[in-house]
Amino acid sequence: MAELTFREAIAAGIAQEMERDPMVYFIGEDVGAAGGVFKATVGLFERFGPDRVRDTPISEQAIIGAAMGAAMTGLRPIAEIMFSDFLATCWDMIANQVAKTRYMTDGQVSIPLVIRTANGGGTRFGAQHSQSLENWAMAVPGLKVVAPSTPADAKGLLAAAIRDPDPVIFFEQKSLYGVKGEVPDGEHVERLGEAKVRRDGKDCTIVALAAMVPKAMQAAEQLAADGIQATVVDVRSLVPLDTRTILREVVKTGRLFTVEENPRLCGWGAELASIVADECFDDLDGPIVRITTPHVPLPAADILEDAAMPSVERITRTVRGSMR
């Protein structure tokens, strides 16, 4: 095991797959000699050269168009969109072309394309650079959607995404880049569509994603001091969604809380709440509770951004109040 930061684990996952498969290449703004604006691709340019690690102009449409064409001809591109907010500038290509090509060609053409993007708030970038957009991608048939919470998962899930025959949007929560954790040495590949139980408890189930997972874990520690034992489930992958694990844990505890960074309206937790209500309503001992960011643009001011996003204190207070 090696202790790596989240950003180092991203670079390690890309390097692992580029070393393994010469068809993998990497394209994006400032991803080469600069090592990425978030320094998540340091060393790749020096190791693999300009033919496989390519800087682009400031054009998200050009990045996705070039990567899609490369994927159609047999390469396995990794395309970086610097901020997830900028997906809006190339969303037509992603939603109407990348996501639909395999279906529209009756399986004759697949798009093994990974779109990496820095996502979410907590770093004071303001409303146009801090959105949490997993629910955008989740709503489009044909896209797989992944959002890791640990360095080990960053490496292992990214490797799995690169090997997948379908397009994957890989969301990297910006506030996690500096987080350290143990990462397996050598080849490390996780499976897409498998949630992980990070903590076992008997009283309630808290389901979280990406940067909300460590907050849920801290809240569970505080709740334990009050005698409330919480299970924490890390979703990891929204599409495919591991409903089996989530439903199993909800049935065990009888209570479900979702912790979502995305705005409340049409968030991923709403879909999960619907599934749980359909599949195990009789096992619930109380209402499903969603802990979310309100449906507002995320402020840049630190005190306002912190107030908008789910916090450890708000998770703890909400669960404690609902469990009485």
Look up the CATH number of the domain holding residue 49.
3.40.50.970
> Are residues 58 and 161 located together in one domain of the fold?
yes
**Could you tell me if 150 and 207 lie in one domain?**
no
Distance of CA 42 to the CA centre of its chain: 21
Among left, alpha and beta (phi > 0; psi -120 to 50; other), residue 209 is: beta
* pLDDT band with cut points at 50, 70 and 90 for residue 64: very high
The pLDDT assigned to 317 comes to 97
* 11/58 same-domain check: yes
Q: What is the pLDDT of residue 301?
A: 96
CA dist list (Å): 95 to 251, 281, 317? 35, 33, 38
Query: Of 162, 115, 138, 114, which Cα lies nearest the Cα of 267?
Result: 138
DSSP-derived secondary structure letter, 299: P
User: Are 176 and 205 found together in one domain?
Assistant: no
- What average pLDDT does the segment 93-117 reach? 97
CATH number at residue 253: 3.40.50.920
> Is residue 324 scored above 90 in pLDDT?
no
Sheet (strand 196-199) strand order? 196-199, 230-234, 204-208, 256-263, 289-293
| Structural domain harbouring 277 | 196-323
Instruction: Tally the domains of the chain.
Output: 2
- Identify whether 56 is part of a domain: yes
The pLDDT of residue 184: 96
CA 246 to chain centre: 17
In the residue annotation, 188 being an active-site residue is answered as no
CA-CA-CA-CA torsion for 14, 15, 16, 22, nearest 10 degrees? 90
| 1: pLDDT strictly greater than 90 | no
The answer to whether residue 190 sits within a structural domain is: no
Longest CA span, the chain? 60
Q: Is residue 206 part of a domain?
A: yes
Given the residues 102, 129, 174, 236, the one annotated as active site: 129
| pTM, 2 dp | 0.97
Tell me what the mean pLDDT of segment 161-182 comes to: 98
The string of pLDDT tens digits covering residues 120-157 is 999 999 999 999 999 999 999 999 999 999 999 999 99
Q: DSSP class of residue 41?
A: S
Q: Which of 183, 211, 237 is the last residue before a domain boundary?
A: 183
- Is 188 a member of any domain? no
Does residue 227 form part of some domain? Answer: yes
Q: What is the mean pLDDT of the chain?
A: 97
Alpha carbon of residue 117 to chain centroid: 9
Whether 168 and 273 map to the same domain: the answer is no
If asked whether residues 39 and 104 sit together in one domain, one would say yes
Determine what percent of the chain is predicted with pLDDT higher than 90. 99
